[in-house]
Structure 1
């Protein structure tokens, strides 16, 4: 069972254990309660981005009111432009 979130230093420690052959890949997943896919993702991110790749990042899915209004205005502007073109033909 997974223990939850690991910080970047903990991830690096686990990856170093695996890469130095202190512990095998599958043994690390069992010892630390990590899914195999998760450990593979950590390896890939570390290889591509170094330590920064192991740090947690929050994906914000919320947008400001100003951005939403701007998008709405853009859509309305493009829609009226397309309607003008359509009526001209």
Structure 2
């Protein structure tokens, strides 16, 4: 399953702010992490936070695109849309 995420680094708290939609109609999850966007630290924090939130190993999450962008695409191996909706309801 592919998940779109808009990441906000350097937040005072790590949290999920819910779902939103971009101007192209793509639905994305808004996530905040404490780590700064330096040398991939914010991306690492995002993967760790999502894995913990979804209760899956970090090895099942892969950053596909958006290494230096705020909007990222993450593949989650073995997760379906129903499990995602349960983990992150509207």
Output the TM-score relative to the length of structure 2. Answer: 0.25
Question: Is the radius of gyration larger for structure 1 or structure 2?
Answer: 1
**Structure with the greater relative contact order (CA < 8 A, sep ≥ 6): 1 or 2?**
2
Q: Which has the higher helix share?
A: 1
